[in-house]
């Protein structure tokens, strides 16, 4: 495994970071607790020291399982990244910015972006309890909340830093202007944003800005929620309440299938999986600090960790980039 310093912080994180969205189950057609905890243990055993989660993932379940999984580990050797600002339990009393309705076992649950000072403090106390720890290595705002001034949200962050409950602070899904506003109050360590072979928008404005400001980029959805594994084009069937039934519809699936077929030849020659090839390519892109990779069982976790066991030559990267350029 390779470890990288995150932005302007002192955090040293594993380049492949365990992404814990799917194990929460919500929007992913459920989860298996035993498999999920095994996947976390397998990740740690193979050098993945960093785990990224959020209260929204499984409405607290993801954080709870992580807390259970790491309680036997040396806490100083595991970096916990979590978030705040998505409310599902009605505690916002109708305040905040309505986001969408999440499917929770057939029940529609309204989700709000809400980052008032009071709510931030409340959420962090709940996360600390679920994670069974007294500090969070990197706290992140999950999504911008247009109903709360950024300065108010940052006041809460300042308090948490002073209390020693968080080591560093990052944003997620922020644009350049929003980062600049937040920086007036708090040092911004990182921005967690969507980035993949099929979604490279951040290369235009965000990456140049974060490089200049020494702000790390945490890439999420590098596999486009499993689409780039290629399984979807074989015999993999999604359950009815899996959000990816709709999510995959935004892509030209025939072009994606062709891309995977082109990359398969290179993956085969290197004795690696398509998933590993896609993840490794992502880790090598300019401005990308760490890459989130989800795993729902130990086998997937080990495969993700082994992504860093090989490299890609300049000619191999050229081959990959040419194949990507054909996808509109």
Q: Which of 3, 18, 57, 232 is catalytic?
A: 57
The closest of 277, 176, 286, 299 to 222, measured between CA atoms, is: 277
Burial class (CB in 10 A: 0-12, 13-18, 19+), 322: exposed
Residue 178's SS3 state is: helix
Q: Based on the residue annotation, tell me whether 98 is a catalytic residue of this protein.
A: no
3-state secondary structure of 201: helix
Contacts for 38 with CB less than 8 Å, ≥ 6 apart: 297, 298, 301
CA gap 35, 237 in Å, rounded: 19
Walk across the sheet containing 107-113 and list its strands.
86-87, 107-113, 97-104
Q: Element (H or E) spanning 101, and its range?
A: strand 97-104
H or E element in which residue 150 lies: helix 150-162
Helix (H, G, I), strand (E, B) or coil at 302: helix
Best CA proximity match to 184, nearest among 217, 149, 214, 234: 149
Residues belonging to the active site: 57
């Amino acid at each position: 495994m390779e470890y990288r310093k995150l932005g302007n912080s002192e955090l040293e994180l594993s380049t492949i970071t365990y992404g814990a969205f799917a194990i929460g189950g919500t929007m992913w057609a459920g989860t298996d607790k035993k498999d999920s905890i095994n996947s976390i243990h397998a990740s740690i055993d193979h050098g993945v020291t960093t785990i990224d989660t959020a209260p929204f993932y499984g409405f607290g379940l993801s954080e709870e399982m992580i807390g259970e999984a790491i309680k036997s580990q040396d806490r100083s050797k595991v970096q916990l990244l979590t978030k705040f600002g998505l409310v599902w339990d009605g505690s916002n009393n109708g305040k905040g910015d309505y986001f969408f309705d999440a499917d929770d076992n057939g029940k529609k649950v309204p989700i709000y972006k809400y980052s008032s000072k009071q709510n931030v403090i409340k959420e962090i106390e709940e996360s600390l309890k679920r994670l069974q720890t007294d500090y969070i290595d990197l706290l992140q705002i999950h999504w911008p909340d247009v109903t709360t001034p950024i300065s108010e949200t940052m006041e809460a962050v300042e308090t948490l830093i002073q209390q020693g409950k968080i080591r560093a602070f990052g944003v997620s899904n922020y644009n350049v202007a929003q980062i600049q506003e937040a920086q007036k109050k708090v040092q911004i360590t990182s921005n967690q944003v969507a980035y993949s072979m099929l979604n490279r928008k951040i290369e235009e404005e965000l990456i140049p800005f974060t490089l200049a400001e020494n702000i790390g980029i945490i890439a999420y959805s590098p596999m486009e929620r499993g689409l780039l594994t290629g399984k979807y084009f074989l015999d993999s069937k999604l359950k009815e309440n899996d959000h990816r039934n709709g999510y995959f519809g935004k892509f030209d699936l025939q072009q994606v299938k062709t891309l995977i077929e082109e990359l398969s030849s290179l993956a085969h020659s290197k004795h690696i999986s398509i998933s590993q090839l896609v993840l490794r390519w992502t880790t090598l892109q300019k401005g990308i600090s760490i890459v989130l990779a989800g795993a729902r069982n130990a086998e997937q976790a080990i495969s993700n960790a082994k992504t860093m066991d090989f490299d890609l030559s300049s000619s191999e990267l050229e081959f990959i980039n040419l194949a990507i350029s054909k996808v509109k």
